[in-house]
Structure 1
Amino acid sequence: METSDLDKLIERSLAIRDKYHELELEHHGSKWTVEEDALAFLTDAGLVGRLTMSQQGRWPKGEGTVPELKHKLGESMWWLMVLADRMDIDPKEALEAFLTKTEKLF
């Protein structure tokens, strides 16, 4: 079976999360829970909202909005891959099911 680009991105995402788990163990004695990961995702998603407002000229942020927005969008996608893995959900299957269900509405 050929590994897709998305599969490779998921693998890289999980490898990075493993490195963060090592830091959490080193600094706090335990890994973050799934709930803590979800909260971190929500925090970054909130920043995507604020940076989107800035990018659209609706919130004064100053210079650097677009690079920061790109980073937070990527980080949010990374969190979704991590959360799916930690909750034993295949992100590709979840996306496929969502798209199929939504397409049928139209």
Structure 2
Amino acid sequence: MAQVLEITTLRPAPGRTPEDFVTANADIDDYLRRQPGFLGRRIAVRDDGTVVDVVAYDSMAHARAGAGGITGEMGDSPVHDTIDQTSVDWQLTTVLHEVEPPAPSGTPAVRDGAEPDPAGQTLAQADATAREVRALYEQIEQRVLGRTWTLPELAVGFTNDAAYVGRLVLAAEHTWDISGDVDAELRHKLAENMWWLFVLADKLGVDLPAAYAETMAKIGGGLRG
């Protein structure tokens, strides 16, 4: 299976064209191609002016390397989960789900000779990965919007994803109809919520790994009496 993240721009700002988005995103292509499990990338402008930036990875190779980053499908994909954040210039829609991977294309990913450690990331490593991925989003926002998302906009993104977790839990209990692999969606959405927490903590100047350790120690001590 291939992990999918589709970034779609809608409603270009006055004086801007969909092609502006294509040009703005070209400079992160080298970074994406260096990621473990990279299969290919495609940026397309649809007939209605919508721009789709999609990147495909072999998710097993990507996971073994403990890699984060932008992932997607080659070509159009069905929408399983949508998070909308509207600005005065563009609307960004993020879609995350699982699909069968496309055939490899483009330059193969650059891989280190050493086999990556399959163990999960520590909180500190996850924090660093979250900030790295956020920096990629900021490149896109700066070039497309002329600014990065504000703290309130980031908070709205987090609350949208958090609310969707509730719908996925209902779907897992068969009380809410959601198409696709609910277990896979829940896994990814919980991970995205964790990413949002690291992003918000960074913007608020909070050392989240340290705060988590301190808070759990305090709560645990209180519960133990």
**Range class of TM-score, shorter chain:** 0.7 to 0.9
CA distance in structure 1 between the aligned counterparts of 2:221 and 2:193, rounded to whole angstroms = 27
User: 2:144 and 2:170 mapped to 1: Cα distance?
Assistant: 35
- Alignment correspondent of 1:88: 205
- Computing the radius of gyration from Cα coordinates, the structure with the larger value is 2
The structure that is helix-richer by fraction is 1
- Which residue identity does 2:174 align to in structure 1? G
Q: Equivalences for 1:1-106 in 2 at 5 Å? A: 5-106=122-223
- Structure 2: distance between partners of 1:102 and 1:56: 30
Once the 2 structures are TM-superposed, how far is the Cα of residue 6 of structure 1 from its aligned partner? 2.2
Give 5+ residue unaligned stretches, structure 1.
none
The residue matched to 1:83 in structure 2 has which SS?
helix
Among the aligned pairs, what percent are the same residue?
33
Instruction: Give the alignment's TM-score, normalised by structure 1.
Output: 0.88
Distance 2:131 2:194 in 1: 12
Displacement of 1:105: 3.4
**How many corresponding residue pairs?**
103
Q: Against the structure 1 CA distance between its residues 87 and 69, is the aligned structure 2 distance closer, same or farther, given a 3 Å change threshold?
A: same
Which structure ranks higher in relative contact order (CA pairs < 8 Å, sequence separation ≥ 6)?
A: 1
Q: Mean alpha-carbon deviation: is it higher for 42-51 or for 96-105?
A: 96-105
Structure 2 residue identity aligned to 1:7: A
CA distance in 2 between counterparts of 1:29 and 1:59 reads 39
Query: Can you give the 5+ residue segments of structure 2 that lack an aligned partner in the other structure?
Result: 1-120
Q: CA RMSD in A?
A: 1.5
Higher fraction of strand: 2
**Alignment partners' CA distance in 1, 2:141 and 2:180:** 32
1:8-29 alpha-carbon deviations (Å, 9 max, x no partner): 2211110100000011111111
Q: Which amino acid aligns with 2:150?
A: T
Match of 2:206, as an amino acid? I
- Displacement of 1:88: 0.6
**Aligned partners of 1:9 and 1:92: how far apart in 2?**
9
TM-score by length of 2: 0.43
